[in-house]
Amino acid sequence: MIIALAGGVGGARLAQGLVQVLGPDKLGIVVNVGDDFEHLGLQISPDLDTVMYTLAGIHNAKLGWGRAHETWHFMETLEQLGGETWFRLGDRDLAVHVDRTRRIRAGETLSAITAGFCARLGIRHSVMPATDQRLRTRVLTDIGELDFQDYFVRRRCEPAVRGLRFEDAQSALPCAALGRLIAAERITGIVICPSNPWLSIAPIFAIGELSSLIDAHRVPVVAVSPIIAGKAVKGPASKIMHELVGGSDALSVVEYYGVRVDGWVIDAQDAALAGRVEAAGHRVRVTDTIMSSPERARQLAVDTLALFDELDAAE
Ligand code: GDP
Ligand code: CA
């Protein structure tokens, strides 16, 4: 079984490609929960929802979050009442948060709730929160330490990032289904999706048992670069990369993940960097990594998975 590590939009796009290539018994998707928070009394899991909506084909491709054919009556009414409106919740989306919150309060785990929603939405693959326990990303910035969504949404990533802290990550355990896969040694490979390395993937790595699985080199790890020609396709990855490591291209991401990654997929626009990625000890594939359609996502998934065979053959 391959597991794919995903944040929101970049992770969801590659997940959409991978599910076209690997059956539900061959692929599980492990999703960041560092962005999760409580808002308006609701339990919100932005990355899980982006992955879930994308795999169900009901995501809002234009916004990059939330649902297609969304309406905003709740938000408009909240604004009229003078409520908090900095975090946008569409009417359809709202049902997920309301029901997730009800089920959490009734004692269900986030992974059981997610599995239930996914089944209802016709998703056959397992979508797992990295952990069922509380794990919160805190952003250390030039104006102080901020809650993740305060930094990301309310302040639009404007403060300069000095560091990140993944609260409660060390003691967090992988969610039960993922824990079982690890214990039974059923994981044969890990794909790191082209999600934001610092905001989306680092909180997953911060979970002790997951990092030891990877650091002990028990399974091959293949990653797709979220940085193309020195820029993020979407979001603040490139800004954060500048602030934290001073780098400006895919090589900075390669260096950041270091020996954790065996094989890299980089974009054709970065073909000139391939030699240096190889020199750093990785296998490299150069291909078109912009997933502008489900078909392109499928092709990138095929190319990414082919790296596992190359790594196998090289051993
Ligand atoms: P978020 O949680 O919604 O911010 O999303 P992620 O962390 O999963 O993804 C954000 C990253 O995805 C950004 O760094 C983007 O550059 C990257 N990304 C988005 N779409 C694509 C794509 O089509 N190809 C590649 N290679 N990266 C992408
Ligand atoms: Ca996210």
pLDDT in tens, 21-45: 999 999 999 999 999 999 999 999 9
Residue 181 belongs to a domain = yes
Q: Which atom of ligand 1 is nearest to the CA of 238?
A: 14
Number of Cβ within a 10 Å radius of residue 170? 11
What does the alpha-carbon distance between residue 95 and residue 172 come to, in Å, rounded to a whole number? 28
Q: Which atom of ligand 1 is nearest to the CA of 225?
A: 26
Using the structure block, give the residue that is written with the tokens 């409520």. 83
Residue 81 belongs to a domain = no
So what's the pLDDT on residue 215? 82
The alpha-carbon radius of gyration of the chain (Å, integer) is 19
Name the β-bridge partners of 224.
Answer: 265
Pocket-forming residues, ligand 1, beta carbon under 6 Å? 7-11, 13, 47, 50, 194-196, 199-200, 224-226, 228, 232-235, 237, 289-291
Residue 82 belongs to a domain = no
Domain containing 217 — which CATH number? 3.40.50.10680
Question: How many domains are contained in the chain?
Answer: 1
CB within 8 A of 250, min separation 6: which ones?
225, 227, 228, 230, 266, 267, 270, 273, 277
Dihedral angle over CA of 46, 47, 48, 52, nearest 10: 100
- Average pLDDT over the chain, rounded to whole? 96
Using the mean position of ligand 2's atoms as its centre, give its distance from the Cα of residue 219 in Å: 25
Residue 226, both tokens: 């979220």
Q: Which domain holds residue 252?
A: 2-65+111-314
Residue 79 belongs to a domain = no
How does residue 315 score in pLDDT terms, banded at 50, 70 and 90? Answer: confident
pLDDT in tens, 140-166: 999 999 999 999 999 999 999 999 999
Using the mean position of ligand 2's atoms as its centre, give its distance from the Cα of residue 93 in Å: 16
Residue from 196, 231, 244, 285 whose mutation best tests the ligand 1 pocket (most atoms within 8 A of CB): 196
Residue 18 belongs to a domain = yes
So what's the pLDDT on residue 216? 80
Q: What does 230-243 look like in DSSP terms, one character per residue?
A: TEESSSSHHHHHHH
214 against 195, higher pLDDT? 195
Mean pLDDT across 266-291: 98
